[in-house]
Amino acid sequence: MKKQHLSKRDVEHIAWLAHIELSEEEKDLFTEQFNEILEYFKKIDQLDTEGVEPTYHVLNLENVSRKDKTTPSLPVEEALKNAPKKDKTFIKAPRIV
Split into its structural domains, the chain has a count of 1
89: in domain: no
19 Rama class: left (phi>0) / alpha (psi -120 to 50) / beta: left
97: in domain: no
d(CA 33, CA 26): 10
Give the number of other Cβ atoms within 10 Å of residue 58's Cβ. Answer: 6
Q: How many CA atoms lie within 13 A of 56 on its CB side?
A: 2
- Predicted confidence at residue 52, as pLDDT, reads 87
Q: Which of 22, 51, 46, 52 is nearest to 34 (CA)?
A: 22
Residue 39: partners with Cβ closer than 8 Å, 6 or more residues away? 2, 5
Is it the case that residue 4 has pLDDT exceeding 80?
Answer: no
- Predicted confidence at residue 2, as pLDDT, reads 60
36: in domain: yes
Is it the case that residue 80 has pLDDT exceeding 80?
Answer: yes
93: in domain: no
Q: What is the mean pLDDT of the chain?
A: 89
Residue 39: give its domain's CATH number.
Answer: 1.10.20
60: in domain: no
Domain that holds residue 14: 8-45
pLDDT in tens, 43-57: 988 999 899 888 877
